[in-house]
Amino acid sequence: MEKENAFKLLLSCPSALSSSQVSVNFDESYDRVPHPDHDLEKSVSQIWDKRVQQSPSLFNGKKFRYGGHDGTRTNVCLHLGLTDYRTFVGTNLNPQWERFLVSSEDDCKQCQHTSSPLGNGAIVETVDNKILVLQRSNNVGEFPGYLVFPGGHPEPEEVGITSHKCENGLQNSESINSKVSQEMFDSIVREVVEEIGVPAATLSEPLFIGISRRVLNVRPAAFFFIKCNLQSAQVQQLYSSAQDGYESTKLYTIHSSELENMSSKMPGCHRGGFALYKLMLEAGNNIK
């Protein structure tokens, strides 16, 4: 398997967890640790500055940083810190990204110097049992032309978070954790609606199936299973007017049996998402 296709499953939840079974501990202890090599650390801002010169429209948005998890397969707590797109570009996407890694069997320690924003993706199944797969456009920053499941990122600013200080009435950690946990589920619905064009009302409540990490750039992503009550042909019609349709060039609606071949054309984090979906199916989780 090529490095860009390779993945590691950081967390597998084949029983497919509802929002009530997934909690979050949002804390600055899960933030990135700066690298002790001054020159390497300096390259973070240098790379970002160069990217901004090339693309002045680049926006440095806040992201949730994956810092591990605890719990069981049926009740999971995600450990999240705060990072931003600038640091992601300067660490995970740095040509020297492997130098940011620590030699450790502990995933969180291994990646303590990387931004590692938690992305998300959804395996969406239509009422006629087709899975939705997008072909990325050639204008996107990562993996242009590759096949992916719809997805993006949960957004801190959607719940009023711009730092670890309490803002916008979020008075205590319990309230913040609850809002961040809900954003994990709300954000994947938003991404599907914006990228595919289907109304939110046609989608089931997302079920969390785990987290995979691409070996290349150690890029983590949370994956969800969602049912859509539309026929695949109806979804194709709606896709033509999707809000974020510019991010992709084609929508495939395929049987799960065909996904195996197509997954070889996916970046590792999404290939890992397919592996999580297969584990859910193997567990006999016939979700209605």
Mean pLDDT, range 101-121, rounded to an integer = 97
Pairing of strands 119-125, 219-227: parallel
- pLDDT of 248 > 70? The answer is yes
Average pLDDT over residues 275-284: 94
Using a 10 angstrom Cβ sphere, with 0-12 exposed, 13-18 middle and 19 or more buried, the burial of residue 16 is buried
> And the tokens for 206?
């997302």
Which pLDDT belongs to residue 138? 74
CA-to-CA distance for 49 and 17, rounded, in angstroms?
41
Residue ranges per structural domain of the chain: 7-282
Q: With 70 as the cut, is the pLDDT of residue 288 above it?
A: no
Read off the tokens for 269: 């984090």
> 3.90.79.10, 3.20.20.80, 3.30.460.20, 3.40.30.10: which CATH number matches 7-282?
3.90.79.10
DSSP state of 78: E
- Confidence band (pLDDT; 50, 70, 90) for 140? low
Residue 167 predicted with pLDDT over 60 = no
Return d(Cα 53, Cα 56) in angstroms, integer. Answer: 6
- 195-222: average pLDDT: 97
Does position 45 have pLDDT exceeding 60, yes or no? Answer: yes
- At residue 65, the pLDDT reads 98
Judged against a pLDDT cut of 80, whether residue 158 lies above it is answered with yes
Q: At residue 139, does pLDDT exceed 80? A: no
Is the Cβ–Cβ distance between 221 and 118 less than 8 Å? yes
**pLDDT exceeds cutoff 80 at 207:** yes
Residue 256: pLDDT band by 50, 70, 90 thresholds?
confident
